[in-house]
Amino acid sequence: MRLSGRGIRCVRGGREVFSGLDFAVSAGEALAVTGPNGSGKTSLLRLIVGLLTAAGGSIDLEGGEAELTLSEQAHYLGHRDALKPALSVLENLSFWRGFLGGEPFDADKSLAAVGLDHATHLPAAYLSAGQRRRLSIARLLAVRRPVWLLDEPANALDTAGQTLFVALMGDHLARGGLIIAATHAPLGVQAQELRLGGVP
């Protein structure tokens, strides 16, 4: 599997954020997208997953499931955690599994993997910022998809949470998945780097 972009141009609010951008990442590899605030890191991830439309260039996934789109084979973990506060930890995870589709899953196993097995029935409104991030990460495990697009993935995680997530990323890569992460901090796994320029 290989995910690549060629000559990508991004325009937001009438301003060109970047142009002529090329990248390529294959199964088992990670790409760390770095650069100052406003350089287009989040925009690139949103272009890849189809939440934004590129003003030019192309993005292609080779070797994936032919009948599925790129967005159907990717997880996008934004810098904000998409949770429903009134729903419990388990209900939030079950909602995402149902929304994203996929095979039946062991919720307890997914929550245990991120250290939230003790909080299964706790409303998400009562979770700390780090726990909310862990619950968002559990979504990556509940529905297996080969492409992980991560926006500041270690945001709000304590040292133990960061160590846990590095191990989960390593396991994903070992299974043949690929990762593109927008980050200001070291990713924790071996990664190529794509640095975007700053705002003039």
At residue 143, the pLDDT reads 86
pLDDT on residue 100: 82
Pairing type for strands 15-26 and 2-12 reads antiparallel
198 vs 183, residue with greater confidence = 183
Can you tell me the distance from the alpha carbon of 134 to that of 72, in angstroms, rounded to the nearest whole number? Answer: 22
CA distances from 71 to 76, 86, 146 (A): 9, 28, 11
pLDDT at 198: 54
CATH topology for 2-63+70-195 is Rossmann fold (3.40.50)
pLDDT at 200 over 80: no
Domain ranges of the chain: 2-63+70-195
Average pLDDT taken over every residue of the chain: 90
Sign of CA dihedral 190, 28, 178, 91: negative
Encode pLDDT of 84-131 as tens digits. 899 999 999 888 888 887 666 678 888 999 999 899 899 999 999 999
Q: Is a pLDDT exceeding 80 seen at residue 140?
A: yes
Rounded average pLDDT over 194-200: 72
Q: Inform me whether the pLDDT recorded for 199 exceeds 70.
A: no
Give the tens place of pLDDT for each residue, 25-81. Answer: 999 999 999 999 889 999 999 999 999 999 999 999 999 888 899 999 999 998 777
**H/E segment holding residue 31:** strand 30-34
Burial 121-142 (b: 16+ CB within 10 A, else e): eebbeebeebbbbbbbbbbbbb
What local confidence, expressed as pLDDT, does residue 79 receive?
79
